[in-house]
Amino acid sequence: MWTTISSATTRTAILERSGQKVIIAGDGETALKLLEDPQIFDMLGLVITDHLMPGMNGVALVSKLRAILPAVPVLVLSGLPSLEDEYRGMNVVFRSKPFPPDALIALTRQMLDEPLGRIA
């Protein structure tokens, strides 16, 4: 089973309806603390984050995450497309919001099933 960390309950509902297991973290620090649980750490298949969130932004989260899990797929969703350059070289997929539910499901399945050529 796959686990996705997400900060948006709407995306969570969409992904759960598509059969994915989702764990929600309301901020980056909480997401990183969740990784201290061996069951979550072992099951984690994909991280989905917004750029803007309480406490730290997506760039800081991805930087810290890469120190723990360098190869986990990361999807960054942001309403600010100009921020994509901040993720260059971080091995993430960056998409602008709004992002249609069907496209979210298809992209997460693809990212879970096979490595993508990262765009950032």
Between residues 110 and 116, the one the model is more confident about:
110
pLDDT in tens, 21-35: 998 888 899 999 999
Supply the CATH number for residue 91's domain. Answer: 3.40.50.2300
Q: Does residue 95 fall inside a structural domain?
A: yes
Residue 79 is assigned to a structural domain of this protein: yes
Q: Where are the beta strands (DSSP E) in 7-43?
A: 21-24
Confidence class of residue 4 from pLDDT cuts 50, 70 and 90? very low
pLDDT computed for residue 74 by the predictor: 95
On whether residue 55 sits in a domain, the answer given is yes
User: Is 99 part of any domain?
Assistant: yes
Candidates 113, 64, 72; CA nearest to 93 is: 72
44 falls within a domain: yes
Angle between helices 101-113 and 9-17 (to 10 degrees): 70
Question: Would you say residue 120 lies in a domain?
Answer: no
The reply to whether 62 falls in a domain is yes
Q: What's the domain range around 70? A: 3-113
pLDDT tens by residue, 15-74: 999 998 998 888 899 999 999 999 998 889 999 998 988 889 999 999 999 999 998 999
Q: How many structural domains comprise the chain?
A: 1
pLDDT on residue 3: 44
